[in-house]
Amino acid sequence: MLKILSTILAGCLYFGWNHDFANHSQTPAAQPPNIIVILTDDQGYADVGFHGSKDIRTPNIDRIARNGVVCSEGYVSFAVCGPSRAGLLTGRYQDRFGFSRNPLVAPNDPAMGLPTSEQTIADLLKKANYTTAVVGKWHLGAHPSLHPNKRGFDQFFGFLGGGHQYFPKNLTLKDLSEMKSEYDSYRTRLMHNTKRVEETEYLTDALSREAVRFIREQQNKPFFLYLAYNAPHAPLQASEKYLSRFSDIADPRRRTYAAMVSAVDDGVGNILNQLEELELDKNTIVFFLSDNGGPTPDNASDNTPLRGKKGDFFDGGVRVPFAVQWPGTLPAGSRYTQPVSSLDIFATAAAVANVKPKNRLDGVNLIPYLSGRNKGIPHDYLFWRNIDGQKLAVRSPTDKLITQPNMEFLFRIKDDIAEKNNLSQQDSQTREALKTKANDWNRQLPPPAFLGLMQEKEYNQLHPDRFKVVEDFK
């Protein structure tokens, strides 16, 4: 009897951590829903039609909003690329496993990236017999043990580093063995699984093409597609096909940025059209979001009305365009106004595929909330840590606290979306309560597992053979 009670208690504790995973899993169908995550890179909060953009037209991204739900308070788990992606793909705060920094391209370092102790969404869904693919940017490790094909993905088409050149003529390096610096990885040929391939199309178009191909080839069985566009991340490069759409934008940087977003929008349209043509749209969940806020001075993005930019814990760094469609299950054309997180995508996938995660999750199954069945609040608190900047942030449904050296910010974020009114001195009770929550969370976290992009000089001194390729991908 004691053994039985212990087993029951353990199960209650597990699912208590995972919130709605147990209570709101979808009833298993003959075939569970396909899942597509479309992630842009450095896109501004205001740079989609469903957030009111006038100069950048995104009719296809807006289709996701019309077909489903706009999460107007959609957050990511960090304010720069690599850690944000690690959180999304594991459903866990990346600081729980030391992924606290942007990783370097270090092809002979198995610790520089997503640790193998972590289960990815692809690992999880393969247990439910999904076919899995990542198309685009990886940025979770360049060592062979960290390659997408080793992390649950059946197929990979894209690049391993944190960014890439968009025009094929600029891909002048055969592989990682020819790298001499971090940004040389931007010039390597693309990869199909572990092989290097020649590409002839503009990068965004090539990624869209491969995503559509995967959907078409996998139409008769459940699939998971993680489409991680590089756009509109620097370098600012667009083909004339897209530039010609924005002759009315005078600022050349904003015009190029708009063209890059428009290329993504075309790709999203191709994907949605393919789903509809194959009659898969009603059995496919499509998420759209950016990996962090726009770096407004660098790529001419727009985070209006949010304060801050990429790298900040003001909402301009971590609050992103976020929309979800599942026709027939989620209400079309609706808006959800409670805070949700990219961490929730993993928990949602686990629930709809009816498979138990390996690790404790920080996200929740969003479907009961977005469908209106659960009237509660998905998260009591969301947290962020920048260990090198000595910054912590915590968001409750109504308030947000940011602490950093010699400065604290408290905002009534529900009513002050632009974070203009710092209440840290006026409301010490809320400030201290949120600070306690943030500090308690922070004490659970280990130190960073690797030196990152900001420590590149130190890393190179410690690893003079950094670019020596132990097991090359040719």
For the segment 276-292, the average pLDDT, to the nearest whole number, is 98
Point out the catalytic residue in the list 81, 147, 233, 379.
81
**What amino acid is encoded at 207 in this protein?**
L
286's CB contacts (< 8 A; 6+ apart) are 36, 38, 64, 68, 271, 272, 275, 324, 325, 326
d(CA 319, CA 337): 13
For the segment 302-317, the average pLDDT, to the nearest whole number, is 98
d(CA 274, CA 191): 24
365-404 confidence digits (pLDDT tens): 999 999 999 999 999 999 999 999 999 999 999 999 999 9
- Stated as kind and residue range, the H or E segment containing 344 is helix 344-353
Q: What is the 8-class DSSP label of residue 167?
A: S
Point out the catalytic residue in the list 139, 143, 164, 379.
139
Residue bearing the bigger pLDDT, 5 or 328 = 328
pLDDT score recorded for residue 470: 63
| 71 noted as active-site residue | no
Write the CA distances from 152 to 87, 119, 123, 130, integer angstroms: 16, 8, 4, 10
For the segment 42-63, the average pLDDT, to the nearest whole number, is 98
Write the CA distances from 159 to 165, 181, 207, 296, integer angstroms: 10, 16, 11, 25
Residue % of the chain over a pLDDT of 90: 91
Using alpha carbons, select from 206, 168, 207 the residue that is nearest to residue 188. 168
Going along 317-439, which residue ranges are E strands? 322-325, 334-336, 340-341, 382-386, 391-395, 400-404, 407-411
Question: Residue 474 pLDDT > 60, yes or no?
Answer: no
Q: In what order do the strands lie in the sheet with 69-71?
A: 195-197, 190-192, 155-159, 131-137, 223-228, 34-40, 284-290, 322-325, 69-71, 334-336
For the segment 105-134, the average pLDDT, to the nearest whole number, is 97
d(CA 298, CA 390): 24
For the segment 461-465, the average pLDDT, to the nearest whole number, is 92
Q: What is the 8-class DSSP label of residue 32?
A: P
Which band of pLDDT confidence, cut at 50, 70 and 90, is reported for residue 7? very low
239-261 confidence digits (pLDDT tens): 999 999 999 999 999 999 999 99
Provide the residue ranges of all domains of the chain, joining segments of one domain with +.
Answer: 33-370, 389-447
Task: Quote the mean pLDDT of the chain.
Answer: 93
Output phi, psi for 453, to 5 deg: -60, -35
pLDDT score recorded for residue 14: 35
| 139 noted as active-site residue | yes
Write the CA distances from 202 to 166, 192, 206, 214, integer angstroms: 6, 16, 6, 19
Q: Which CATH class is domain 33-370?
A: alpha beta
pLDDT score recorded for residue 204: 98
Buried b (16+ CB within 10 A) or exposed e, 428-458: eebbeebbebbeebeeebeebbbbbbebbee
Using alpha carbons, select from 384, 324, 364, 467 the residue that is nearest to residue 80. 384
Separation of first and last alpha carbons in the chain: 58
pLDDT score recorded for residue 468: 80
Write the CA distances from 394 to 19, 182, 312, 409, integer angstroms: 19, 33, 13, 11
121-172 confidence digits (pLDDT tens): 999 999 999 999 999 999 999 999 999 999 999 999 999 999 999 999 999 9
